[in-house]
């Protein structure tokens, strides 16, 4: 557990965290007291000293050093809202963000970590997620990787300010971090088009891998370096794509597809997951025939150099190949 230094917003931040924790609990998350303590004690505002909010004229910047006390108060209040925060924007494009805290809590609890386990995080972001992991497990058990050197340096500074010093590595997240392997858990905070095989080879047997895929979260149990399998969690999830990856999300409604169908979260999940195999009409036919299946009916298998998504049964009639990892 880190010992964070005091800062000018410590007291107000502590009050705001208590409110945030109650809000997250209201969503049915934070069953594990250890994670509740982590969210109660890790100061999110230290990880988002500057962020952007959408406005009519584009993005508006809020930051901790604003000379206007009203805007500083807005910044601190926003830092503890249960919302994602845009932290880096370039030419109108979102590059990095701090994820919605309640979604982070769901993902961290789904990892089912135990004392002494080693965790690899793909996508350092602001460093906040790595801080929560460090609080729970000890910083020596946490490694976070990001392709962008500016991102890792910023995360490292934020983590140190909060009193945590996990391994922060600049590198290609798709390749994992072989120098720190093996790992008991791998969690990605960026969307991937498929599961990188390098991750499995860096896992201990029975490790868990949790990653955003399509518009959901796949949780895989690793059997060995070439075999993993699991199902999607019930929740939807939208993350920035793994840098260098080719994650895709349908943005245009195909001709003849009703708007209410295209806008349905469950249909878009299937449509994206099977985009290379099913056209829009085929996906619609399957979706209706299977009575609008929930995410948890879908899964992914990685085996012997290939991987595929499936509905209900890995060997059943509904399966779609995923890109090579």
Contact, 176 vs 196, CB < 8 A? yes
Which residue numbers are catalytic? 99
Contact, 139 vs 166, CB < 8 A? yes
Give the residue among 187, 199, 192 at the shortest CA–CA distance from 273.
192
| Angle, CA 225 vertex, CA 219 and CA 229 arms, to 5° | 30
CA distances from 203 to 50, 107, 144, 223 (A): 35, 18, 15, 9
Phi, psi of 220 (to 5 degrees): -110, 140
Tally the C-alpha atoms within 13 A of residue 194's C-alpha that lie toward its C-beta.
20
Contact, 70 vs 76, CB < 8 A? no
């Amino acid at each position: 557990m880190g010992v964070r230094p005091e800062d000018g917003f410590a007291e107000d931040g502590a009050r705001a965290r208590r409110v945030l924790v109650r809000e997250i609990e209201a969503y049915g998350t934070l069953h594990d007291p250890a994670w509740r303590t982590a969210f109660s004690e890790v100061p999110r505002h230290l990880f988002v000293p500057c962020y952007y909010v959408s406005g009519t004229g584009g993005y508006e910047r809020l930051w901790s050093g604003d000379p206007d006390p009203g805007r500083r108060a807005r910044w601190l209040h926003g830092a503890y809202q249960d919302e994602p925060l845009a932290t880096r924007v370039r030419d109108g494009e979102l590059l990095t963000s701090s994820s919605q805290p309640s979604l982070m809590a769901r993902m961290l609890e789904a990892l089912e970590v135990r004392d002494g386990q080693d965790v690899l995080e793909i996508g350092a972001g602001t460093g906040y997620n790595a801080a929560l992991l460090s609080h729970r497990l000890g910083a020596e058990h946490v490694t976070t990787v990001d392709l962008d050197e500016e991102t890792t340096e910023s995360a490292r500074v934020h983590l140190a300010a909060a009193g945590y010093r996990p391994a922060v590595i600049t590198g290609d997240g798709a390749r994992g971090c072989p120098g720190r392997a093996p790992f008991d858990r791998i969690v990605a905070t960026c969307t991937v088009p498929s599961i990188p095989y390098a991750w499995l080879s860096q896992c201990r047997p029975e490790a868990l891998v949790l990653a955003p895929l399509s518009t959901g979260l796949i949780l895989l149990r690793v059997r060995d370096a070439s075999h993993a399998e699991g199902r999607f969690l019930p929740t939807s999830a939208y993350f920035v794509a793994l840098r260098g990856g080719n994650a895709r999300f349908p943005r245009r409604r195909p001709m003849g597809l009703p708007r209410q169908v295209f806008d349905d979260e469950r249909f878009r999940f299937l449509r994206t997951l099977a985009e290379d195999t099913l056209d829009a009409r085929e996906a619609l036919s399957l979706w209706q025939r299977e009575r609008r299946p929930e995410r948890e009916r879908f899964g992914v298998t990685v085996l012997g150099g290939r991987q595929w998504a499936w509905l209900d049964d890995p060997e059943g009639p509904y399966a779609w190949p995923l890109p090579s990892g």
